[in-house]
A and B are shown apart, each in its own frame.
Chain A
């Protein structure tokens, strides 16, 4: 039966979307952080997904070919904001601090997209579970 695989594949997607949601939460939490250098400023994190195309890419205990995993996490390339704030203890000699490049609006959109994708996969699992239960019922027909 393919149902355990369906549930497994949707499970890998739940995992990946949860990572995406975590990244969004981390980005939102760091939306207001400042740093003294441009390199030290917080940059929004985005997970990049990858399809599990064959057995070599899956975990031994979870051989769900066709699932998805988080391949790596990239930094948002948007430049960080340089703000004049001499009162800040982190300000550089010229009195500038570097704010994170997190955009709250796009993070909220990202969070909603991740939540919807998560719900979709939960529905997939629910449907597969119901069909599985009905198939088992055949014995009692």
Chain B
């Protein structure tokens, strides 16, 4: 029975965590909209997701003296945002852009949540057997 639960929730469970992490990064940007020299960040969702899958990347360091390629092991998947316009105080947060991203991220979260909800109600139905 445990197997049913693990398999059916699938990736959505981890994706939900990632999505809430992205919301947090965007909340940081909005909080620091007036902080001098603050650099806006965003989560590289695709990269973070592929790391969840544990797919071996095309190039990997197989020898201690190899240089790491691409994302390093300790990377948290955060990338600096490239602003459309620069500002005088070195802050790269563009509030309207961040608001748009936050709104979309919230919707994405709800979408993942709906998928999870469906899975849970499916499991419930199977367990009840009616």
Using CB atoms and an 8 Å cutoff, list the residues of chain A in contact with chain B.
Answer: 1-3, 5-6, 9-10, 12-13, 16-17, 20, 48-51, 66-68, 113, 117, 120-121, 123-124, 127-128, 131, 134-135, 137-138, 141
Contacts and interface: CB of A to CB of B under 8 A. Distances in A.
A67 B28 CA distance: 6
B30 A120 contact: yes
A124 B102 contact: yes
Interface of B: 16-17, 20-21, 23-25, 27-28, 30-36, 38, 95, 99, 102-103, 106, 109-110, 113, 116-117, 120-121, 124
Given A3-B20, A10-B31, A66-B24, 11 more contacts: A2-B17, A2-B23, A3-B23, A13-B32, A16-B31, A16-B34, A121-B30, A121-B31, A128-B27, A131-B20, A141-B120
Nearest to B98: A120
Contact of B24 (A2, A17, A50, A134): A2
A2 B28 contact: no
A124 B101 CA distance: 12
B24 A131 contact: no
B110 A9 contact: no
Given A2-B21, A49-B35, A128-B23, A134 B28 contact: no
A134 B113 contact: yes
B28 A66 contact: yes
Given A124-B102, A127-B102, A6 B24 contact: yes
A113 to B, nearest CB: 8
B23, B28, B34, B36 pick with most chain A CB within 10 angstroms: B28
A9 B28 contact: yes
Nearest to A7: B27
B31 to A, nearest CB: 4
Which of A16, A48, A117, A124 has the most chain B CB within a 10 Å cutoff?
A124
A141 B21 contact: no
Contacts of A120: 30, 33, 95, 99
B112 to A, nearest CB: 10
Contacts of B24: 2, 5-6, 9, 66
Nearest to A113: B34
Contact of A141 (B36, B110, B124): B124
Contacts of A48: 36
A73 B121 CA distance: 54
